[in-house]
Amino acid sequence: MIKLIRPEIERAAAKIYKFGRKLGQGSFGVVYEATHIETQTKWAIKEVCRPAAGSSKVQLLGHEINILKQVNHAHIIQLKEIYETAKMIYLVTELCVGGELKQLLRRKKFFTEDEARHIICSLADAVVYLHKRDIVHRDLKLENILVKNSPDEDDNGRINIKVTDFGLSVQTGGVGIENIMTETCGTLIYMAPEMMSGRGYSQWCDVWSIGVVMYMLLCGEPPFVSKTKSNLLKEIMNKEVRFTQTIWATVSDAAKNLLTCLLKVDPAYRISANQLLENPWITGDTDVPAIPSNVLEMMRHHLEQQESKTMTKAYPNGN
């Protein structure tokens, strides 16, 4: 077995945790499985080299720790404790043995609507919780959604997810214009158009990312694809979501309608995470229209109707 314990952690945690296999590696550090010796419970330990003072990584790591300390939600990774030494920082979090949702999707190719519904409902619930606390994740993607257990071990085969990696997250002062964000960050295929526009963005960027995740769960591919970064930017900024793959013929109209509401280029017309939780595709209420009401969308529709009536009056014979 690879020797994992370093001198710094020997003094802090070696008597408390027994280190096991490597689970993954991100931009910040390496994650290992660990067993709490006294209770024999299993946890994950993220081993991070302490960033140099004044570096951008200091701020990102600070954001992650600060946010994880204050959140407590069934679908957000739980931070148990932190060990800090002169050279290293160790974050002890709950263990998700199912790995990244991206890995599970790669194995399955795509999810059924019922499977996707459960995942998106859990994800939306976590985002509603964050947004109520003025926390914007800004990097929601399949890699940052962990699977708590192996799906076949879970209740009725349902996939229990946990949102993780809050390094790019920010806590704003609310939704007012003074709290508009301008920094472009995240992963391009999941990034909302307004994040690239330079005109500023708000928490609605997370809703777009949920839409991309949902699209990928249902068909296995991103909604916008291009061979170059510049063309991909154009696709995201200018194209409406399309359902061209053959698999979409087997997906319900309710799911496709919801995706068009999540992937609206203009965030003013995009539904909120709260509205997503109330959507009939999520709730299973077939008596409710599949497309949720949006004030701006309704106003636009009303204006178009009024304009049509005016034109009919002005040119009754169509001339």
Mean pLDDT of 288-301: 51
The model's confidence at residue 269, banded by pLDDT at 50, 70 and 90, is: very high
Residues pairing with 33 in the sheet: 44
List 114, 125, 139, 155, catalytic entry: 139
| 113, containing H or E segment | helix 113-132
Q: How confident is the model at residue 3 (pLDDT cuts 50, 70, 90)?
A: very low
pTM: 0.83
pLDDT at 119: 96
CATH fourth-level superfamily of 101-299: Transferase(Phosphotransferase) domain 1 (1.10.510.10)
What is the location of CATH 3.30.200.20 in the chain?
Answer: 7-94
Can you spell out the DSSP letters for 25-48? E-SSEEEEEEEETTT--EEEEEEE
According to CATH, where is 1.10.510.10 located in the chain? 101-299
Alpha-carbon dihedral 102, 107, 111, 115, rounded to 10 degrees: -80
Is pLDDT at 288 greater than 70 in this prediction? no
Structural contact between residues 192 and 170, judged by C-beta atoms closer than 8 angstroms: no
Q: How far is it, in rounded angstroms, from Cα 257 to Cα 266?
A: 16
* Greater pLDDT, 240 or 305: 240
Q: How many Cβ atoms sit within 10 Å of the Cβ of residue 141?
A: 20
User: Is 46 annotated as a binding-site member?
Assistant: yes
| pLDDT tens, residue by residue, 99-142 | 999 999 999 999 999 999 999 999 999 999 999 999 999 999 99
> pLDDT band for position 293 (50/70/90)?
very low
Give yes or no: 139 in active site. Answer: yes
Percent of the chain with pLDDT over 90: 52
The architecture in CATH of the region 7-94 reads 2-Layer Sandwich (3.30)
pLDDT top residue among 176 and 248: 248
For residue 187, name the pLDDT band (cuts at 50, 70, 90): confident
Whole-angstrom distance, CA of residue 210 vs CA of residue 190: 8
Alpha carbons within 13 A on the beta-carbon side of 287: 0
